[in-house]
Amino acid sequence: MLDLPYPILDYFYKLTIRNCSLAYLFVEKNGWLSNWGGNLAARLESQARPREILINENTFQKIDRLQQKFSETTLSLTGIVEPIKIYSCLVKS
């Protein structure tokens, strides 16, 4: 579990979504969304449980200090052909 508030990285853009679920997507230094951008974020949001953070492989590689708090799984998402590797972490309330 991850205690908030916690300065994860400047590159994260936090989306607060219904039922207190959280989803994060990676924003590159130039301001562009990485990989699938909002498309992937929307799909992860639909899969997130309350107080859960879901991130993709690209984002996971950028969070060295926090990697041990995330568990790995694969997920088949609507609109994305192959299952993708994702990482999840529950946030303490």
**What residues contact residue 1 under an 8 Å CB cut-off, 6+ apart?**
69, 89, 90, 91, 92
Is residue 2 a part of any domain in this protein? Answer: yes
Number of domains in the chain: 1
80 pLDDT higher than 60: yes
Mean pLDDT of the 56-64 span: 82
Name the pLDDT band for 12 (thresholds 50, 70, 90). Answer: very low
User: Residue 43 sits in which domain range?
Assistant: 1-72
Name the pLDDT band for 37 (thresholds 50, 70, 90). Answer: low
Name the pLDDT band for 71 (thresholds 50, 70, 90). Answer: very high
Is residue 57 a part of any domain in this protein? Answer: yes
Quick one: pLDDT at residue 22? 45
Q: Which residue blocks in the chain are alpha helix, DSSP H?
A: 38-47, 57-60
Task: Quote the pTM value.
Answer: 0.59
Quick one: pLDDT at residue 72? 94
Is residue 84 a part of any domain in this protein? Answer: no
Is residue 12 a part of any domain in this protein? Answer: yes
